[in-house]
Structures are given as structure tokens and as C-alpha cells.
Structure 1
Amino acid sequence: MQLRRQPLPAPQPGDPYPAAPLLALLLLLALQGAAAAPAGSGEPEDSGWRQDAELPRGLLSQAARAALHFFNFRASSPSALRVLAEVQEGRAWINQKKEYKVDLVFTTELYNPEEGKEHLGKCSARVFFRNEKPRPAINITCTRLIEKKTRQEEDYQLYKYMKQLKNLLDVVSIPDSHGHIDPSLRPIWDLAFLGSSYVMWEKTTQFLHYYMAQLSSVKQWKTNEDAIDFDYTVLLHEFSTQEMIPCHIHLVWYPGKPLKVKYHCQELQTPEEASGTEEASAVAPTELSNF
């Protein structure tokens, strides 16, 4: 008697899928998801970037200084200004447009360290240089350098000192011709350096970096508002060209509040380098944390 092959029963609702069709379905969904993923969503190596084995000279230090200018501006605290101590490690990627992404770790120290005390902190940052265009995009995370309560107290003391001045500030040339800054004027210099940090960050490229060399005038304005409001002129040292760039800056500051800065620098500028106006809360493509 010959056995006849019986057809397989049709699947009923609630029956489990056979293993092979289920695996095929999962594979199809995975391939569709990969096709839909936006370009550039991965790490730099996966999105047209290649790691640069031979870093341009000074690129890591340049990135660290740019990150600290941005950090100082966003922190908005003249009592907690930081400067670069040492770059500990870093790597960079480059794309076909000659743009750089730099990841680095570096140590910092207080701009005005107390005598006899070691004040070192550590930061990690990613800095994106758009070739020769200014205003690099920055993501930076730093460890605390001084306690938040101490910083707030020192900022408030500076604020109170400036608010109680009987004669509004009208100062010319800090430091003096001998390079000396009178201790009574040091808080004014620090506040000017804080506002200038925004300008220096905005003007930085992978080839140009700046430092505040001189405060040539300060004029405080009397207002009905609580904030400190003053104009000042600084000379920014442009290291690559060795030029001194005069910049007129208007600063509005109140302890614990975002810094407000408007400026104009007297130089031949491209449209992207033109006079700036900014509040810390309005800087969208960059981040600041752990302060």
C-alpha cells in the first residue's frame, strides 16, 4: 500500500511562526533600518572622517584654548576663570573639506591662583573647527576647580564692590606702562577678561587664537537695573599674525545669570566675523556641563 503525502495544515491564529520565516523577517527589518539611518549619525570614522595620524602643530593646544574661552564665557563667573595648564591626550579627525574634529583631555588652573595653593582641574572636550571659519563648535565637561558656594560668594563681593562705588568707573590703561595691575583694579580686569572670552571664542579658528593683552578703557554706566553695565576697549593679541586688535565691548553682568555681550572689533572682517551680540543661553550647538 503506497502512502500519500499529506499537505501541511494551514497556520491557525495564535500559532507560533516557524523559525526560518521569523529570522528572515528580522533580517529584512534590520536592513531597512540601516538604509533609513541618516548619514553622519555614527562616529567620525563612519561618516566621511578619517583619523589624522599626523596632527598639525599646535592643534590640540589651539582646541583646548578655544574650549576654555567658551567655558569661561558660559560659566559667567569672574571668580572661576580658567586657563590651560597642560594637554594630556588628544586625537583628531579630518574630512575632505579639511575640517577638524578634535577630542582631547587637558588640565586647567585658576586664572588668579591663590598663593600656596594648588588649583588644578581637568576637562574633556570635543572641538569642531570648520576649516578657516571662526566660532568653533564645542562640547566641554570639566571637574570643579573651586566650590560653588565659594565662587558665588566671591562673585557677589565683586558685584557689591562695583555697585557701591560712589564714582562710576572711568579707567584708562590696565595694566600700566610697567605691566602692573593695581589690586583694586584686578576685579575689573577679571570681569573684562570674562566678557572678552566670548569675543576670543567667536574669533578663534584652527589657525588663529587670541589673548587679552590690555584693557585700554572702562566706562561704567548707571542704570536702574540690578546688573553691572559697562563699556570697555581691549587689545586682543592675535598670535598667528602678532597683531593687536582693538575691540569695543559692552558687557552686562549679574552674579549667577547668563552674561550678555555685544562687541565690535576694528579690523577687516569676513561676514561671519562681523560684530557680535550674544547671551550665554542662546548658544545652541555647544554644551557645557559639570561646573
Structure 2
Amino acid sequence: MQLRRQPLPAPRPGDPYPAAPLLALLLLLALQGAAAAPAGSGEPEDSGWRQDAELPHGLLSQAARAALHFFNFRTSSPSALRVLAEVQEGRAWINQKKEYKVDLVFTTELYNPEKGKERLGKCSARVFFRNEKPRPATNITCTRLIEKKARQEEDYLLYKYMKQLKNLLDVVSIPDSHGHIDPSLRPIWDLAFLGSSYVMWEKTTQFLHYYMAQLSSVNQWKTSEDAIDFDYTVLLHEFSTQEMIPCHIHLVWYPGKPLKVKYHCQELHTPEEASGTEEGSAVAPTELSNL
């Protein structure tokens, strides 16, 4: 005699769920919750980091300025130079070596805004400070501040102006003693600021940041190529120490091509010189996107 398998009775309202289906349901809900979690929430992927609830004073602004120096250098465009407007949000992680990873969102404005026109853009960045070591690794994404075509046209006009100069430039002290920059010298100042952006980014640490205070001398070299070739000296204001650091910079620029920079700076508080080129490498990936 063959036994027939009897179907299981349908559960009635109020009956508990069987154990196995209940466990399967809980597992499914857990997986769905993990998939729905935002990619950037919580700690960075690598271990050893913890979120710092009490950010050091000025750390977010420090990270934003470092990211913008790097951004300006990599855009290679005097007409698209940006400066920090406002940090909107940010958070940081710290590890046992007292190194910081900073995620932030901030607004920017044109270095030379058109009169009567407010030109703002927004950037998001991650900056990695290796304690007191310079050259913070940077990953930055920005919205366009001006259209690419307009930027290229402005850069080319500046390039033509510089190429049409009959005499080699021999400029001393921009701005003048009254803080004024002659309009005819503004393109030279902007090009010097562009090259100095690399130097300022490379020298930035968690505790020190820089700004170009004065262009003390400029010489334009003739070359066999079409590029603008500059050799100039600037004074960089080193915040925190309030020192003025003289840096000798050699810049090669052509519209639409990567900027080439070599430099050496005389540190006033040490007998040694710091020097570098744009080919140096950072510990963590350094990237730029969405130009």
C-alpha cells in the first residue's frame, strides 16, 4: 500500500511563521538594507580609520584651498582660475598616525570675476593629509564655472597678447607699493598665479597653506617652440608662520596643453631649499575630473 503525501495546512491568521521561512525572510531584508545603503556612508574602505567628531580648527578650509590649488594647476587655464567662496559641508577621518582624510563640498568663484556678475561653481573633493608632510593627495570634481569654448577663447587672446610683446618682459614688483595691478600686467599676474598654484599645492600641509602675495620679477624667454616660456620670482605668504617665502619658478604654457612647472623655494626658517617639478607623485591617487 502506497502512502500519499498530505499537503500542509494553510497557515491561519495569528499562527507563527515556520522557523526556516522566517530566517530566509530576515536574511532577504538584511541584504536589501545593505544594498540600499549609500556608497559613501560610514568609514573609508580601508581599515584603521575612524571618523573624527571634533575637526581641528580650519581643517575643512585648509583642504578646500589645497584642492583648488591643484585644480587650478591641472586646468592650465589662466581664465578659469578659481578661489574658495564657502565650505558647505565636510567630515574627516583620522588614523593612528594622525593622518587625515577629508571629504568636503564647497563653492568657488572666479579669481577675476566680471564686474556686476556673480559667477559661482561647486566642487566636491577628498584630500589626504599625511600629518605634517606636504603635497596632499587630492581627488576633486567641479561643475563648470565658464563654458569650455569661452575659456579657450580667453586663453588664446591672452596667448596672442603675450606673443605680440616686442620686448622681453622685465617686470619688477606686481602689485605696486599701493597694492595696484596695472590692467596691462594682469595677464602676467594671472599666468604667474597659475604656475604658483602647483607650488602652493605641493607645499601645503595640514598646518600650513600659502597664497601668492607678490610677483617680484618676471623674464620671458624666447624659445623655438610656440609655448609661452616664463622665468619669474614670487613671494608666497605662508600662513601660520606669517613668513614670506621667495620661490623661483619656471613655467611653460600653451593654451589647451598641460602646464609645465619647475621651481625652487628658499625656506626662511631652514637653511635648505625645497624644489620640485610637476612629475612628482603623491602617496594616494591624485585625480581631477569634470572640467
TM-score band by shorter chain is: 0.7 to 0.9
Structure 1 pair 229–280 and aligned structure 2 pair: CA distance change class (3 A): farther
Normalising by structure 2, what TM-score?
A: 0.83
Contact 1:172 1:216 in 2 (8 A): yes
Distance 1:229 1:258 in 2: 13
Q: Give CA-to-partner distance per residue, 1:79-136, whole Å, 9 cap, x none.
A: 0000000000000000000000000000000000001111000000000000000000
Unpaired runs of 5+ residues, structure 1, are none
Distance 1:108 1:36 in 2: 32
User: 1:141 — aligned with what?
Assistant: 141
Contact 2:128 2:138 in 1 (8 A): yes
Structure 1 pair 24–219 and aligned structure 2 pair: CA distance change class (3 A): same
Once structures 1 and 2 are overlaid, which stretch shifts more, 242-251 or 46-55?
Answer: 46-55
Structure 1 pair 169–123 and aligned structure 2 pair: CA distance change class (3 A): same
CA drift at 1:140: 0.2
Structure 1 pair 190–33 and aligned structure 2 pair: CA distance change class (3 A): same
Structure 1 pair 20–264 and aligned structure 2 pair: CA distance change class (3 A): same
* RMSD over aligned Cα atoms: 6.4
Counterparts of residues 59-78 of structure 1 (less than 5 Å): 59-78=59-78
Name the count of aligned residue pairs.
291
User: 2:121 — aligned with what?
Assistant: 121
What secondary structure is seen at the aligned counterpart in 2 of 1:114?
A: coil
Structure 1 pair 270–49 and aligned structure 2 pair: CA distance change class (3 A): farther
Structure 1 pair 55–147 and aligned structure 2 pair: CA distance change class (3 A): same
Structure 1 pair 85–22 and aligned structure 2 pair: CA distance change class (3 A): closer
Normalising by structure 1, what TM-score?
A: 0.83
Distance 1:233 1:272 in 2: 18
Structure 1 pair 34–85 and aligned structure 2 pair: CA distance change class (3 A): closer
Contact 1:258 1:281 in 2 (8 A): no
Distance 1:139 1:274 in 2: 24
Distance 1:164 1:211 in 2: 30
Contact 2:137 2:282 in 1 (8 A): no
CA drift at 1:27: 14
Contact 2:266 2:273 in 1 (8 A): no
Structure 1 pair 22–260 and aligned structure 2 pair: CA distance change class (3 A): farther
Distance 1:168 1:249 in 2: 17
CA drift at 1:224: 1.2
CA drift at 1:15: 37
Unpaired runs of 5+ residues, structure 2, are none
CA drift at 1:30: 17
CA drift at 1:274: 2.8
CA drift at 1:272: 11
Distance 1:272 1:40 in 2: 42
Structure 1 pair 73–4 and aligned structure 2 pair: CA distance change class (3 A): closer
CA drift at 1:252: 0.2
What secondary structure is seen at the aligned counterpart in 1 of 2:272?
A: helix
User: 2:39 — aligned with what?
Assistant: 39
What secondary structure is seen at the aligned counterpart in 2 of 1:191?
A: helix
Contact 2:124 2:140 in 1 (8 A): yes
Distance 2:14 2:180 in 1: 86
Distance 2:66 2:94 in 1: 18
CA drift at 1:215: 0.1
CA drift at 1:10: 35
CA drift at 1:285: 2.3
Once structures 1 and 2 are overlaid, which stretch shifts more, 6-15 or 228-237?
Answer: 6-15
CA drift at 1:267: 1.3
Structure 1 pair 78–7 and aligned structure 2 pair: CA distance change class (3 A): closer
Contact 1:77 1:155 in 2 (8 A): yes
